[in-house]
Structure 1
Amino acid sequence: MRIRNKIFLLINTLLSMGSGLITPIMTLYIHNDLHKSLVTAGYVLLLYSGMIAVGYLLGGRLFDVWKPEALVYIGGTLAIFFLFLLALFPKWPFLITFLALYGAGQGLWRSAFSGYMAIIQENDHDIFNNNYWTANIGMGIATLLAGYLYSVSVHLVFVATALLFTSGLFVFARYFSSPKQQDHIEAGDEKLVEHVFPAEMKRASIAILCSFMFLTCISYEQWESNISVLMTSQGIPVQKYSLLFTIATGQVIIFQPLLNKLFPHKPWVERFRLMLGLFLYGSSFLIVLGASQYWRFILGIVVLTAGEILVTPTIPLLLSKYSDRQHRGFVQSLGSLSNTLGIALGPVLGGYLITATGYSGTFIALFVLQLVMMLLVLRLQKTAG
């Protein structure tokens, strides 16, 4: 792996650690310290996610038509500035504005790095897998630290995040060499690309992949939100629920590096990997259907995480292959936007579905949804490699 790619992964790991420090404690802080309702906390986090989405869309477009490096500096500086303001004034109603603008800066920065990954992928097919792996390491470390830092002071959480982001920006400025997009394609190759990927078919495949990202995030969010209620109602303590995600993080760290060896980068393998991952996603809900024993929830999260390992890096990889050189950043930002919207809306949509059909009906519906997506994989255009 090139040294530039290793530096890129280091920066993204620092970003993931920073994001992972804030997200787990925000609901607790808004509800317990600022004495606002859980509904209010939910709306604040929805606004935060919405501003990340705005940053992704704007940043993705600017990456393609403007200066990628300048986009990194603007997004990073914006995020760091409002993190320090959050550290100084973490009070209501300043928190709402500062958190939202921090989210916008984070979205700009991350959209630029998604665009860079799409360029790097031309010579390093494993970059998406490696990024997913290192990001999970960063997130796992941050999750362990978040509770401790919050128990000392919420100011410390925001300062630590700002320092991580500042370190990432320093590493980018000092050590990262921006990959250069090829300025032209040989005439014969261009005709081949247009023959294999007519514009309308590329758009259809990109839309299908973005819908996969959105719907799998909604499915995953049921484990991070509504399944906790089911488990505690069965007499399973919250500590055991939290342990599920420690298991999931360890599973990703151990098994993700094996993915490249088990599934080589061939077009049919990538489609099979996506279909298998979707099937595992759906199967996790059948495993916990009517469950009351803790071991079934452990098995469910293990199967779900296996599906996540297969699906999550594959979608941006395929998006990169379906996008042309002039729209790489924007296409990747659409995938990131779909991910953000799925995370933001997952608990709410799941709550409505559970209220209407109960847990059993919801789990069966989510399993069927994954089967439908598996069929849609067959509608994807075959990639050239």
Structure 2
Amino acid sequence: MPKSIWLLVIGMLVNNIGNSLIWPINSVYIHDHLGQTLTVAGFILMINSGAGVLGSLIGGFLFDKIGGYKSIILGIGVTIFALTGLTLWHGWPHYVIFLTIMGFGSGIVFPSMFAMVGVLWPEGGRRGFNTLYIAQNVGVAIGPALAGPIAEFSFTYIFMANLGMYILFFLIAFFGYRNLEGKLPSKEKKENEIIIDKGKKDKSTLYSLLIVSSVFLLATIAYSQWASTMPAHMQGLGISLKEYGLVWTINGLLIITLQPLVSPLLNRYEHKIKYQLVVGVVIMMLSFVVIQFAESFTIFAIAMIIITMGEILVWPAIPAIASRLSPKGLEGMYQGVVTSFGSIGRMIGPFFGGVMVDQFNMETLLWVLCVIFIIAIIPCLLYDRPMKAKKL
């Protein structure tokens, strides 16, 4: 794997360690320490993810216009500003304001990271995206494991640690990413502009992108419950915040272990990627069936193992499909669309879950989530229809 990809992988790791320190405790902090209902907590997380949607779209646009380095530096700078404010003022309503700005800054970063992998290592195929995905989940394994014990001691140290990780990420990006982008000669730029114009006129790949992105949207609505309604539900059953963090550590360690073993097999059957999506979505749905009967940490851990096996098949496949669909010069926009759909799922999910639990109960929410996964199977099977119709 090229050195440039390793630099992106290290940056993604540091970024996700920081992010995963704070998101597992968001609902608990808003509910228990700021005295708000789960519905309000879900609404605040919806605002955070809404800002992430806007950031993702802007980040993808900026990647195509000014390049990945400047886009990433801008996103990190905005996030550092927000985390500085959050460290100093994390009462009500300051928490909401800075969490929203943080969502916007993080949103700018992610599409540029994924687009850079596709542009810098096109011959790597899905391997670059799989490695970036593993790096994300190494962060998920480390962050929540640290977040639980730190939060039980002091929430302020959570915000300080997140700020520290983002400063480290800024240094990695500032010194490491500056020379990753070579400027195209004028002739290549002109040819590239023709390709971009052609890509804009040919809408079939964009329609396919929107359809496959809807899988990401629906699956993320359900998956986001693990970071929103689930910690409060587990605490209601007498499961500690520390044990909740351990569930995410299991998730990260499984991905680190299984993804390298599964990747060669998936690469071999890359032409059947839509069926990979279907299998992954069904497996993720089964985890929520198991949660219906969960009353102990062990059953929740089993449910997390199941959903992890599903996400290994689904999460890295979607940006890889987006990279395959994107015309030259529009890589940032296509990754921005995918990332924004995930952010919309994280925006809707916590609020939707909070309302369902407050108005009905956790059991009703879990069955509704199973229905959402069943619906998600349809776009898995149909996303390539627009391109097939164009060929006819």
TM-score (norm 2): 0.82
Gap regions ≥5 residues in structure 2 = none
**Higher deviation after alignment, 32-41 or 79-88:** 32-41
Q: What are the within-5 Å matches in structure 2 for residues 18-167 of structure 1? A: 18-125=18-125, 126-167=127-168
Amino acid at match of 1:358: T
The 3-state SS of whatever aligns with 1:62 is: helix
Q: Is the 8 A contact 1:30 1:36 kept in 2?
A: yes
Cα drift, residue 135 of structure 1:
0.9
Gap regions ≥5 residues in structure 1 = none
Query: 2:319 aligned to 316, 321, 333, which one?
Result: 316
Tell me the residue number matched to 1:251. 254
1:324-359: CA deviation from partner (whole Å, max 9, x where unpaired) = 122111111111111111122124435667869936
Residues 1:375 and 2:365 aligned together = no
Q: Is the 8 A contact 2:130 2:259 kept in 1?
A: yes
Q: Within 2, Cα distance between the matches of 1:195 and 1:321? A: 16
Cα drift, residue 222 of structure 1:
4.2
**Higher deviation after alignment, 313-322 or 163-172:** 163-172
Residues 1:272 and 2:278 aligned together = no
Q: Is the 8 A contact 1:121 1:128 kept in 2?
A: no
1:230-277: CA deviation from partner (whole Å, max 9, x where unpaired) = 878889888776654443333212101112222225541333322321
Rate the CA distance shift 1:261–1:197 in 2: closer, same or farther, 3 A.
farther
Amino acid at match of 1:334: V
Rate the CA distance shift 1:336–1:16 in 2: closer, same or farther, 3 A.
same
1:23-66: CA deviation from partner (whole Å, max 9, x where unpaired) = 12233333333334443333322222211221111111111122
**Higher deviation after alignment, 285-294 or 118-127:** 285-294
Tell me the residue number matched to 1:344. 347
What is the count of residue pairs matched by the alignment? 382
Q: Within 2, Cα distance between the matches of 1:326 and 1:339? A: 22
Tell me the residue number matched to 1:2. 2
Residues 1:362 and 2:364 aligned together = no
Cα drift, residue 89 of structure 1:
2.2
**Structure ranking higher on relative contact order (CA contacts 8 Å, 6+ apart):** 2
- Identity in percent: 26
The 3-state SS of whatever aligns with 1:211 is: helix
Q: Within 2, Cα distance between the matches of 1:93 and 1:75? A: 23
Cα drift, residue 105 of structure 1:
1.8
The 3-state SS of whatever aligns with 2:203 is: helix
The 3-state SS of whatever aligns with 2:124 is: coil
Rate the CA distance shift 1:293–1:163 in 2: closer, same or farther, 3 A.
closer
Cα drift, residue 214 of structure 1:
0.2
Cα drift, residue 13 of structure 1:
0.5
Q: Within 1, Cα distance between the matches of 2:128 and 2:200? A: 23
* CA RMSD between the two structures: 3.8
**Higher deviation after alignment, 116-125 or 361-370:** 361-370
Cα drift, residue 99 of structure 1:
2.3
1:67-95: CA deviation from partner (whole Å, max 9, x where unpaired) = 43222222212211221122122233333
Q: Is the 8 A contact 1:20 1:143 kept in 2?
A: yes
Tell me the residue number matched to 2:307. 304
Q: Within 2, Cα distance between the matches of 1:296 and 1:86? A: 35
Tell me the residue number matched to 2:180. 178
1:104-154: CA deviation from partner (whole Å, max 9, x where unpaired) = 222222232232123134132211111111111112111011123333333
**Higher deviation after alignment, 57-66 or 118-127:** 118-127
Amino acid at match of 2:84: F
TM-score (norm 1): 0.84
The 3-state SS of whatever aligns with 1:178 is: coil
Amino acid at match of 1:134: A
